[in-house]
Amino acid sequence: MTSKNVANRSSVVTMMSHHEIAKLTGKQTAHVVRDIEAMLNALNLHYPEMDDYDSKEFSVRRKVYNGRVVIDEIKIDHDLTMTLMTGYSVPLRHKVAKRWRQLEAGEEKPIKSTSHLPEYRRARAIKMEVEAMSIALSFMPRLSDIAKQTAMARAVNDAAGMELLPLPKVEEHLHTAGDIAEMLGVSPQKIGRLANKYDLKTEQYGMFVWDKAKHSEKQVEAFRYNQAGIEALRHLINDSKAA
- The residue ranges of every structural domain in the chain are 2-115, 117-169, 171-243
Lowest mean per-residue pLDDT among 66-70, 107-111, 137-141, 182-186: 107-111
In the structure, what pLDDT confidence band is assigned to residue 1 with cuts at 50, 70 and 90?
A: very low
Higher pLDDT, 30 or 160: 30
pTM of the predicted protein model: 0.42
Q: Which of 29, 30, 68 is nearest to 49 (CA)?
A: 68
Residue 109: is its pLDDT beyond 60? no
Higher pLDDT, 74 or 100: 74
The total of other beta-carbon atoms located within 10 Å of residue 63's CB is 17
Mean pLDDT of the chain: 79
Residue 10: is its pLDDT beyond 50? no
pLDDT at 4: 46
In the structure, what pLDDT confidence band is assigned to residue 227 with cuts at 50, 70 and 90?
A: very high
Residue 235: is its pLDDT beyond 50? yes
Q: Are 130 and 149 in contact (CB under 8 A)?
A: no
Higher pLDDT, 73 or 124: 73
pLDDT at 181: 92
Q: pLDDT above 90 covers what percent of the chain? A: 21
- Side by side, the strands of the sheet bearing 68-76 are 2-5, 12-17, 68-76, 58-65, 53-54
Tens-place pLDDT, residues 135-149: 877 888 888 888 888
In whole angstroms, give the CA distance from residue 18 to residue 29: 7
Beta bridge partners of 175: 225
Q: What is the mean pLDDT of residues 41-62?
A: 87
In the structure, what pLDDT confidence band is assigned to residue 215 with cuts at 50, 70 and 90?
A: low
In whole angstroms, give the CA distance from residue 222 to residue 101: 64
Q: What is the mean pLDDT of residues 179-190?
A: 92
φ/ψ region of 199 (left if φ > 0, alpha if ψ in -120 to 50, else beta) reads left
pLDDT at 182: 92
Fold that domain 171-243 belongs to in CATH: Multidrug-efflux Transporter Regulator; Chain: A; Domain 2 (1.10.1660)
Q: Are 21 and 95 in contact (CB under 8 A)?
A: no
Q: What is the mean pLDDT of residues 187-203?
A: 92
Residue 190: is its pLDDT beyond 80? yes
H or E, element range at 177:
helix 177-184
Burial pattern 209-238, b for ≥16 Cβ within 10 A else e, equals: bbeeeeeeeeeebbbbbbeebbebbeebbe
pLDDT at 3: 41
Higher pLDDT, 68 or 60: 60
pLDDT at 199: 93
Residue 62: is its pLDDT beyond 50? yes
Q: pLDDT above 70 covers what percent of the chain? A: 81
In whole angstroms, give the CA distance from residue 205 to residue 228: 5
